[in-house]
Chains A and B, each alone.
Chain A
């Protein structure tokens, strides 16, 4: 007797991002096994990320190297200047990259940390004399400086010695703070109030926390400021001082043992919290403070093993950015050429953020400009996170579902048709694959998204002329074959200038006998 096709709808599949931690069989289809070059869009759908729109046209000074760090400097007059580092140079500009390295200043590493402070931008790297681009007069002749100069050369500078050539610098509470020196991993120096060039007079000072580490010994990796606290990240612990507005009298507020920070460039302040990458995944400072006496949760709980493996394999550098416009936190492992995208709009039941992966992007630096633009550094120079091409090249948007049992893995499922609802990607080719019972080989079908359908969601039509195109919606269907107890579905498409998101997957199948 013919059975009626059962329709199993996967609405907003993978809207909870990747989950490589839970058992595939027990997984909610809202998770994805694979979500590459994807984001969770504003409607909670898995969608293709935006691309890299390179704006640099002249990268001669960069050579074949990549941009390792980007920072936008904006002075009190509102004039902006974008600084970046790469190819052992200090570079300015976005379209034409200009070498701003001070004459006679030799650079052999590009691990610079740049901060804006008091109408100046400061450049710090371990073992290197700090640099400044500012309006502070240099030397004794007075007058604003318009070049990048040594911090020690500006007027009234004091105490700018090798002791403060730190790898980490923080601008907070009216001072510059620096730490992580070649021969000292336990001291934090702070500058005079509103004077990032004065380190040995006024209200400048230092604090040695070697006697404060909760485990006896640790090394400072990063600094952060949050809620009148100075957060000092070690490799295996975190020390928090309150009253950092008056550092001479700030007191120890808290210590967290067992949780540290991997790299200074993974620390991002989100306004209400501070995110950082620890040895066990992405952590939230606020959550860490709250939960230190309880089992710790991880913000990357759905991809813990993946992120730890990637972290362990990483031999170069880390980069991160918080972009409130896109509501995500990007974490890039440069040598692994892998970026994790954490959606910050909400957390999952286990407290984790929804995560997707961006493999093979080549992204090596990020900065969010004041106007909300996300600038991305790469070997191509500087680009914007916009469009849907990576420097005019396509990239693969890929979704793989977990093994779907449809509630009864013991019964055979005969997949008859896959019908998906895809937004965007007009004329794009979608490769659909399906496999049964954890089989690695799968059947494949290609579909091209065609059709003039337009989505007019939430658009009132009273007294409106319909002259403009809306978002392209396609509902391609694929006739499938085969059977099995569980089913996994894979869809991938080259994103080449068109956005694409997966709204729904409708699975039409017959349920067979029990296997």
Chain B
């Protein structure tokens, strides 16, 4: 074999080795990209994790009784995280709840919207809709576009705002994002400035997500995800609240009365009893006086009786009656005090009946909500499994392809190099 044959053979081997290496590298790179793709598909932004997080996010619900009482739950403002929590973060960005957000969330308008039934997940636009009086037809604490447009005042509002048919959420307006809050400030171009949870303020027209390390977020090491503190609120209907307040007020009055020193009440009762007895007592005195006058004894004064024996007997009877009245008034005042305490306790118990009924209605509502949650969880679970299965199949296929390429390349390189070094 000649040099030229040897060199050609070696060159072919080298070329083959290089080609094999190239295949191996491709297989290696493909495998990396598959990993990246798997990561993105599962855990990246918008991935399965986000989707599942959105779907499995706890949906606050409200139980409304037939009398209008409500049991609702909401995340307490400025607590926990709102919306998606990316597992890659490992924690919640402490800046998630910025001062701007907290200030906006604590505004009177937001509080008014919450009082009207809005949930903390409601967007700034939805909060505004609550304050406009848009009815939350399904009582979920949110105003949907349909609910907004079906509002009886929508046409007038639309006309007043240019007639462009704005809705509460068009998927672009930051003010329509769940949990968004209007800061009360405007940009130079007049667009309102909204703030999301944990994010810097966002201007109108652009969305923003907070806490995504891919977007530049820098999660601090060592902090754990803290779920938001939930507020479970029992809200009575106006009638129930009025009844409750009235009973409470009455109960307070009764207890105050029961705590009053009985001496004053005893005196009042005694005075009334004496006043009631006065006419009969006066009649008896007059009758005795007339009797004595008829007997010519009206002017009798004796050392034994003071006056006549009849006058002494009458005075004794009056004194005994007075003493008995004192005892009766004391007994009455004590019994009245007990009655007042009982009434107060009864009123207090009655005042809490609406609440108790509401709590009683809670179980069915919770059961229903739980069933819904289970249903959603099952569906989400199915979705996740299905998605993961599909993704896995895709990744497996890709891995196979990469493996083939890598294996071929390796084989080629091995063969080539083996022939080269094997003489």
B301 within 8 A of A: yes
Interface flags for A222-262 (1: CB within 8 Å of B; 0: not) read 00000000000000000101000001111110000000000
B304: A residues at CB distance < 8 A? 202-203, 205, 248
B295 touches A248 (CB 8 A): no
Number of A-B contacts (CB under 8 A): 60
A207 touches B299 (CB 8 A): yes
Interface flags for B286-298 (1: CB within 8 Å of A; 0: not) read 0000000111111
Give, as a whole number of angstroms, the nearest-CB distance from A128 to chain B: 23
Bound together, the chains give a CA A154 to CA B107 distance in angstroms of 102
A251: B residues at CB distance < 8 A? 295-297
Which of A200, A201, A205, A212: most chain B Cβ within 10 A? Answer: A205
A187 within 8 A of B: yes
Please pick, from B294, B297, B305, the residue contacting A207 in the complex, using a CB distance under 8 A.
Answer: B297
A250 touches B299 (CB 8 A): no
Q: Count B-side interface residues using an 8 Å CB cutoff.
A: 15
B309 within 8 A of A: yes
Give, as a whole number of angstroms, the nearest-CB distance from B341 to chain A: 53
Bound together, the chains give a CA A248 to CA B297 distance in angstroms of 8
Bound together, the chains give a CA A311 to CA B304 distance in angstroms of 43
B327 within 8 A of A: no
A252 touches B303 (CB 8 A): no
A207 touches B293 (CB 8 A): no
Bound together, the chains give a CA A215 to CA B212 distance in angstroms of 123
A203 touches B302 (CB 8 A): yes
B309: A residues at CB distance < 8 A? 248-249
A206: B residues at CB distance < 8 A? 299-302
B308 within 8 A of A: yes
Which of B293, B302, B303, B304: most chain A Cβ within 10 A? Answer: B303
Please pick, from B293, B294, B299, B300, the residue contacting A248 in the complex, using a CB distance under 8 A.
Answer: B300
A211 touches B295 (CB 8 A): no
B297: A residues at CB distance < 8 A? 207, 249-252
Bound together, the chains give a CA A252 to CA B299 distance in angstroms of 12
Task: Tell me the residues in window 458-475 of chain A with beta carbons closer than 8 Å to chain B beta carbons.
Answer: none
Q: Which residue of B lies closest to A250 (CB)?
A: B297
B295 touches A207 (CB 8 A): no
Bound together, the chains give a CA A207 to CA B292 distance in angstroms of 12
Q: Which residue of A lies closest to B294 (CB)?
A: A252
A203: B residues at CB distance < 8 A? 302-304
Give, as a whole number of angstroms, the nearest-CB distance from B237 to chain A: 77
Please pick, from A202, A207, A210, the residue contacting B300 in the complex, using a CB distance under 8 A.
Answer: A207
Q: Which residue of A lies closest to B306 (CB)?
A: A205
Q: Which residue of B lies closest to A255 (CB)?
A: B296
A204 touches B303 (CB 8 A): yes
Interface flags for A76-112 (1: CB within 8 Å of B; 0: not) read 0000000000000000000000000000000000000
A252: B residues at CB distance < 8 A? 294-297
Bound together, the chains give a CA A192 to CA B309 distance in angstroms of 16
A201 touches B303 (CB 8 A): yes
Q: Which residue of B lies closest to A211 (CB)?
A: B298
Interface size on A, as a range, is 20 to 34
A204: B residues at CB distance < 8 A? 302-303
Bound together, the chains give a CA A206 to CA B300 distance in angstroms of 6
B299 touches A211 (CB 8 A): yes
B300: A residues at CB distance < 8 A? 205-208, 247-248
Task: Tell me the residues in window 178-200 of chain A with beta carbons closer than 8 Å to chain B beta carbons.
Answer: 186-187, 192, 200
Q: Which residue of B lies closest to A210 (CB)?
A: B299
Bound together, the chains give a CA A369 to CA B183 distance in angstroms of 133
B296: A residues at CB distance < 8 A? 209, 212, 239, 241, 251-252
Which of A200, A203, A252: most chain B Cβ within 10 A? Answer: A252
Q: Which residue of B lies closest to A254 (CB)?
A: B296
A187 touches B299 (CB 8 A): yes
B298: A residues at CB distance < 8 A? 208, 211-212
B301: A residues at CB distance < 8 A? 205-208
Q: Which residue of B lies closest to A251 (CB)?
A: B295
B305: A residues at CB distance < 8 A? 248
Interface flags for A248-278 (1: CB within 8 Å of B; 0: not) read 1111100000000000000000000000000
Q: Which residue of B lies closest to A240 (CB)?
A: B296
B293: A residues at CB distance < 8 A? 211
A159: B residues at CB distance < 8 A? 303
Bound together, the chains give a CA A186 to CA B299 distance in angstroms of 10
B303: A residues at CB distance < 8 A? 159, 192, 200-205
Which of B296, B298, B301, B305: most chain A Cβ within 10 A? Answer: B296
Task: Tell me the residues in window 287-346 of chain B with beta carbons closer than 8 Å to chain A beta carbons.
Answer: 293-305, 308-309
Bound together, the chains give a CA A205 to CA B309 distance in angstroms of 12
B308: A residues at CB distance < 8 A? 248-249
Interface flags for A97-138 (1: CB within 8 Å of B; 0: not) read 000000000000000000000000000000000000000000
Task: Tell me the residues in window 337-357 of chain A with beta carbons closer than 8 Å to chain B beta carbons.
Answer: none
Bound together, the chains give a CA A205 to CA B296 distance in angstroms of 15
Bound together, the chains give a CA A330 to CA B299 distance in angstroms of 36
Bound together, the chains give a CA A249 to CA B308 distance in angstroms of 7
Q: Which residue of A lies closest to B304 (CB)?
A: A203
Bound together, the chains give a CA A252 to CA B297 distance in angstroms of 7
Give, as a whole number of angstroms, the nearest-CB distance from A354 to chain B: 37
A205 touches B299 (CB 8 A): no
Give, as a whole number of angstroms, the nearest-CB distance from B29 to chain A: 136
Bound together, the chains give a CA A424 to CA B231 distance in angstroms of 145
B302: A residues at CB distance < 8 A? 203-206, 247-248
Q: Which residue of B lies closest to A253 (CB)?
A: B296
Q: Which residue of B lies closest to A239 (CB)?
A: B296
Give, as a whole number of angstroms, the nearest-CB distance from A187 to chain B: 7
A208 touches B299 (CB 8 A): yes
Q: Which residue of A lies closest to B302 (CB)?
A: A205
Bound together, the chains give a CA A486 to CA B418 distance in angstroms of 218
Which of B298, B305, B309: most chain A Cβ within 10 A? Answer: B298
Q: Which 9 A-B pairs have the closest CB atoms?
A: A252-B296, A208-B299, A205-B302, A251-B295, A212-B296, A248-B302, A207-B300, A204-B303, A201-B303
Q: Can you offer 7 A-B residue contacts whose CB atoms are under 8 A? A: A204-B302, A206-B301, A208-B298, A209-B299, A212-B296, A248-B302, A248-B304
Q: B-contacting residues of A (Cβ < 8 Å)?
A: 159, 186-187, 192, 200-212, 239, 241, 247-252
10 further contact pairs, Cβ within 8 A, besides A205-B300, A206-B300, A248-B300:
A159-B303, A200-B303, A211-B299, A212-B296, A249-B297, A249-B309, A251-B295, A251-B296, A251-B297, A252-B297
